[in-house]
Amino acid sequence: MTLLDIFPSLRTGMPSRLDPAVWPRDTHYDGDGRITLGGVALADIADQYGTATYVLDEEEVRTRCRAYRRAFPEAEIIYAGKALMIKAIAEWVTQEGLSVDVCSAGELAVALAAGVDPARIVMHGNGKSFDELDAAVRAGVGRIVVDSLTEITLLSALATEPQRVLVRLSPGIDVHGHPAVRTGVLDQKFGFPLGSDAANEAVARILRQPNLRLVGFHCHLGSQIHDPDHYGEAVRRMVAEMAHVRQDHGVILTELDLGGGHAVAYRGGDAEMNIAELADIIEDALDAACARHHFPRPVIALEPGRAIVARAGVTLYRVLSIKHIDGGHTYVTVDGGMGDNSRVALYGARYEVVVANRHPTGPQMTATVAGRYCEAGDILAADIRLPADLRPGEVLAVPCTGAYHHSLASAYNSVGRPPIIAVRGGRCRELIRRETTADLMAREVE
């Protein structure tokens, strides 16, 4: 028996041990020691909707949209839909004044179904098919980011009215980190190397097409970038290239899209992007570059995705078993894993894990949280601290799972993908229902 069992009133005075760097702002322990998000106990959500389940704090998403608009009042903020593209998110971010970028016909369909103004949609992707480009043109999307010479040919055949386009350039900036997220280097699959013959040819071809309007350049440096100086360097290089286009073709490009990739903290102590500092550095670099090249100031666009939705998300799991290996690890197996969070296997991502249905105060153990899928590498978190008296049936919560979890989720082992439950003001509602075995079987052809 603990002191809290003897004096339950002490629970209300318990300090929160939830790191504000990785949890939504409206997260705390209630009087019963349970974690609540948006005024709703996570354990209640687990009971009502089952597990594994994604929980999304609507107010956190909206607050982060507002923070970007405050930091960049003259820039266009474009939500990067690949982080999490569902109708509710598209509605929330556009209500907060953001545009939306999509990179497939499916994401475009979601945005349109959510009522997003097509003029505020940007179409991305390094492998856009004829059908996808056709869908984008027919929908009247505001801009299409050209990623290859082939796309120019296709667009010139599809566009019957002037279509605004951007050319994606690789500025040759290495932000280091995992190879899978370094997209600003010259030798990679996206865009055209800055200053290359291919980039020059892309510009020239677009300018020759009567129904294509080249309005600017686009670049993306990578993901999880916490040093804002990289963006200052990107501004300098991209404005210099815009000046070359003016010199060579007599055309002034008016838009510069710097992409996203702003880092968020997944665990306490992780570095993250300071957007106020980023705004200052971009502003200074833009002033200096435009003055140096006597070039009129372009409209800046930024594409945060992870930075908008990552910290708004929490994933819930129920403990299935606890296994102590003599001379080895303690494995806590849960009812989810790499099917709903593939980032650990793909990128070596690391997460915090806490008990959601009670506030543990006793001894702890070092444990590895393992997934339910039939892969030895299906590990959600290694060597973390959990209560020594953890029991099957308890609910675990993993913070900062709003970005790239639902987007990358699979039906591996024929396990359906989790639902998404939104919370706000003490209420919860289902945004995406759980994928069932019947859903999976419906694709079978007799």
Residue numbers belonging to the annotated binding site for pyridoxal 5'-phosphate: 261, 303-306, 404
Closest by CA position to 296, among listed 347, 255, 356: 255
**Do 34 and 357 meet the contact criterion of CB atoms below 8 Å apart?**
yes
The widest CA-to-CA distance across the chain, in whole angstroms, is: 80
Residue list for the binding site for substrate: 306, 343, 347, 375, 404
- Beta strand 299-302 pairing with 255-257: parallel
Beta strands 40-41; 35-37: pairing state = antiparallel
Tokens representing residue 414 in the block = 């024929």
Tokens linked to 254:
């008016």
**Neighbouring-strand partners of residue 428:** 423
Q: Which helix (H) or strand (E) holds 180?
A: none
Whether the Cβ atoms of residue 212 and residue 250 lie closer than 8 Å to each other: no
- Pairing between β-strand 313-324 and β-strand 255-257 as defined by DSSP bridges: unpaired
Determine the 3-state secondary structure of 422 from DSSP. strand
Strands (DSSP E) contained in 262-325 are 299-302, 313-324
Q: Which of 65, 374, 400, 428 is flagged as catalytic? A: 374
393 Cβ contact partners less than 8 Å away, ≥ 6 residues apart: 318, 319
CB 349 within 8 A of CB 266: yes
Closest CA to 308 of 111, 10, 123, 90: 90
DSSP β-ladder status, 330-334 and 420-424 = unpaired
Distance spanning both ends of the chain, measured CA to CA: 59
Burial of 67 (0-12, 13-18, 19+ CB in 10 A): middle
Contacting residues for 390 by C-beta, under 8 A, at least 6 apart: 319, 322, 332, 355, 365, 367
- Whether 374 is catalytic is yes
User: From CA 117, how far away is CA 99, in angstroms rounded?
Assistant: 9
Task: Produce one character per residue of 7-33: b if its CB has 16 or more CB atoms within 10 Å, e if not.
Answer: eeeebeeeeeebbebbbbebbebeeeb
Burial class (CB in 10 A: 0-12, 13-18, 19+), 347: middle
**Which residue positions form the known binding site?**
261, 303-306, 343, 347, 375, 404
| Residue 259 zone, left/alpha/beta (φ > 0; ψ -120 to 50; rest) | left
Which residues are catalytically annotated?
374
